[in-house]
């Protein structure tokens, strides 16, 4: 930051301030992080770069929500959402929609929260950010649980658990399992199936195609095909029909499947 300032690179200074704020968050210093983000926003407002300002406000809103500063968060989020219109940045959209979902959940407007979290999950998936995708999926699962959509909530949280395990994120994995505990879910998987493989099997048993399963789990069709090949081998089945029978016999098919 000092180097950027010495050469008069004010935009670089704002970027450095933002990155320092993220480090302070990781170090458990939210007050210092907020101070740095607000300093960065002063520069961004002066520079007048709409996209950069929207991202800065989105980061600030996320921090304010995490620290329970709901009204300042609402104000920052409203300004960020207005600036973000037409920019088309999936990561920015995902961050905003996830924060909007958290605000709606705070107000117990679960239908609105679910819509925001679902949009956030899709945006983060498109941006290639699985860690953020898991966070949005957890929010969606919790919202669906509150709306009485128990099967959908469990499906979403199981998928989130599998994704968190795949990307080896212990924090997200703990968050998913806490959410599963909230809905009273305990799963014992047979025949050495992993959480991801069990989820693929559930969706197959529901009649979904490989492409549809890929869309549900934010995977590529080729990855789904590899999971299915492993599932067939572990279960000793020849194909989709036998796998579906196995899922139904072992309680791995969804209630609507």
Question: Which among 68, 87, 106 is the end of a domain?
Answer: 87
> Which CATH number is 60's domain given?
1.25.40.10
Q: What is the pLDDT of residue 257?
A: 38
DSSP 253: S
Residue 6 predicted with pLDDT over 60? yes
Domain check: are 94 and 180 in the same one?
A: yes
> Which CATH number is 255's domain given?
1.10.10.10
Span 133-161, mean pLDDT?
Answer: 94
Q: What is the pLDDT of residue 240?
A: 95
- 33-81 pLDDT, tens digit per residue, is 999 999 999 999 999 989 999 999 999 999 999 899 999 999 999 999 9
Confidence of residue 243 (pLDDT cuts 50, 70, 90): very high
Domain check: are 77 and 108 in the same one?
A: no
At a CB cut-off of 8 Å and minimum separation 6, what does 165 contact?
173, 194, 195, 196
DSSP result, 68-86: T-HHHHHHHHHHHHHHHTT
Count of the separate structural domains present in the chain = 3
Question: Which among 72, 87, 102 is the end of a domain?
Answer: 87
Domain check: are 149 and 207 in the same one?
A: no
Domain check: are 98 and 163 in the same one?
A: yes
Domain check: are 95 and 83 in the same one?
A: no
What 3-state DSSP class applies to 90? Answer: helix
Closest CA to 161 of 182, 134, 200: 134
At a CB cut-off of 8 Å and minimum separation 6, what does 255 contact?
151
Domain check: are 180 and 107 in the same one?
A: yes
Chain-centroid distance of CA 20 in Å reads 23
Question: Which among 66, 87, 108 is the end of a domain?
Answer: 87
Lowest mean pLDDT among 31-40, 145-154, 181-190: 181-190
Closest CA to 33 of 53, 59, 71: 59
Domain check: are 64 and 29 in the same one?
A: yes
Write the CA distances from 79 to 48, 135, 181, 223, integer angstroms: 14, 23, 36, 39
Lowest mean pLDDT among 129-143, 154-168, 174-188, 237-251: 174-188
Q: What is the pLDDT of residue 88?
A: 82
Confidence of residue 136 (pLDDT cuts 50, 70, 90): very high
Question: CA–CA separation, 59 vs 246, rounded Å?
Answer: 46
Q: What is the pLDDT of residue 256?
A: 46
Domain check: are 98 and 181 in the same one?
A: yes
Give burial (CB, 10 Å; 0-12/13-18/19+) of 156. Answer: buried
Domain check: are 155 and 215 in the same one?
A: no
Domain check: are 130 and 94 in the same one?
A: yes
Domain check: are 161 and 211 in the same one?
A: no
Percent of the chain with pLDDT over 70: 96
Span 221-230, mean pLDDT?
Answer: 94
Residue 186 predicted with pLDDT over 60? no
Dihedral of alpha carbons 108, 111, 114, 120, sign: negative
Domain around 222: 190-257
Cβ count within 10 A of residue 130: 18
Domain check: are 113 and 136 in the same one?
A: yes
- 195-206 pLDDT, tens digit per residue, is 789 889 989 998
Residue entry with tokens 């791995």:
252
Span 112-136, mean pLDDT?
Answer: 96
Lowest mean pLDDT among 159-163, 204-208, 253-257: 253-257
Which pTM value belongs to this model? 0.70
């Amino acid at each position: 930051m000092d180097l950027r300032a010495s050469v008069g690179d004010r935009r670089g200074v704002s970027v450095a301030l933002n990155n320092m704020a993220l480090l302070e968050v990781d170090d458990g210093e939210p007050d210092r992080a907020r101070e740095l983000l607000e300093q960065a926003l002063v520069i961004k407002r002066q520079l007048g770069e709409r996209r950069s300002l929207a991202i800065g406000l989105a980061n600030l809103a996320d921090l304010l929500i995490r620290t329970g500063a709901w009204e300042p968060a609402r104000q920052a989020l409203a300004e960020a959402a207005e600036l973000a219109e037409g920019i088309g940045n999936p990561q920015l959209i995902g961050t905003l929609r996830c924060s909007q979902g958290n605000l709606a959940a705070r107000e117990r407007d679960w239908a609105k929260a679910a819509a925001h979290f679902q949009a956030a999950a899709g945006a983060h998936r498109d941006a290639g950010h699985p860690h953020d995708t898991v966070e949005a999926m957890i929010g969606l699962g919790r919202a669906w649980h509150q709306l009485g959509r128990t099967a959908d909530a469990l499906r979403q949280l199981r998928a989130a658990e599998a994704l968190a395990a795949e990307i080896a994120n212990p924090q997200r994995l703990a968050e998913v399992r806490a959410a599963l505990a909230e809905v009273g879910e305990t799963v014992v998987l047979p025949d050495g199936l992993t959480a991801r493989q069990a989820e693929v099997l559930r969706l197959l048993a529901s009649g979904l195609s490989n492409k549809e399963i890929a869309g549900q789990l934010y995977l590529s069709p080729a990855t789904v095909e590899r999971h299915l090949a492993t599932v067939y081998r572990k279960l000793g089945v020849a194909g989709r029909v036998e796998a579906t029978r196995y899922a139904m016999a072992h309680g791995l098919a969804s209630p609507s499947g």
